[in-house]
């Protein structure tokens, strides 16, 4: 019998500015104005390596913040949100039909939200708590810390 590790609980309460993750007011997705605000705290920040998250992001993993208490407030642009849910699963992906930006997803009849970390415009003052579905990672997703790091596009 395999036991899963307990879900990490991470609370962020320091308010540094209106755009700091974990504060009472996180804003993202700007089309010339304030489109969306997230109010509340995030319980966890996870990196998911499952096949579906890799397909969604086109990358090694998804990087998502989770909250069961935060609320989304749309000021404009809500009509441009498209959401896809994999049939028969809880897996959802929301994005802006105008610019393609990843957007938060409301899960399970509104009792939690998932926020793609890369969609937040400000610095994130938290590190991911766990890699999940790690056994499902891509074959090439090993020893990436050894890959050279450069600041520009190598053309």
The string over 92-126, giving b where at least 16 C-beta atoms fall within 10 Å of a residue's C-beta and e elsewhere, is ebbbbeeeebbbbbebeeeeebbbbbebbeeebeb
Q: 26-138: what CATH class?
A: mainly beta
Q: What is the pLDDT of residues 51-90, one digit of tens each?
A: 999 999 999 999 999 989 888 888 888 888 999 999 998 8
pTM of the predicted structure, to 2 decimals: 0.76
| Rounded Cα–Cα distance for residues 55 and 61 (Å) | 9
State pLDDT tens for residues 109-141.
778 899 999 888 776 677 899 999 999 999 999
Using the predicted structure, report yes or no on whether residue 148 has a pLDDT greater than 80: yes
Give percent of the chain above pLDDT 90: 40
Cα gap 136→42, rounded to integer Å: 25
Give the confidence band of 7 by pLDDT, cuts at 50, 70, 90: very low
């Amino acid at each position: 019998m395999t036991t899963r590790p307990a879900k990490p609980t991470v609370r962020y309460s320091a308010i540094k500015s209106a755009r700091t993750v974990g504060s009472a007011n996180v804003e993202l997705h700007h089309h010339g104005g304030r489109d969306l605000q997230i109010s509340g705290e995030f319980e966890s920040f996870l990196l998911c390596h499952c096949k579906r998250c890799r397909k969604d992001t086109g990358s090694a993993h998804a990087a998502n913040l989770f909250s069961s208490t935060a609320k989304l407030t749309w000021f404009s642009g809500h009509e441009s949100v498209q959401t896809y849910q994999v049939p028969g699963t809880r897996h959802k992906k929301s994005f802006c039909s105008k610019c393609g930006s990843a957007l938060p997803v409301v899960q399970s009849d509104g009792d939690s939200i998932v926020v793609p970390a890369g969609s937040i415009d400000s610095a994130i003052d938290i590190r991911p708590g766990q890699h999940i579905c790690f056994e499902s990672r891509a074959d090439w997703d090993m020893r990436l810390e050894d890959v050279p790091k450069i600041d520009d596009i190598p053309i």
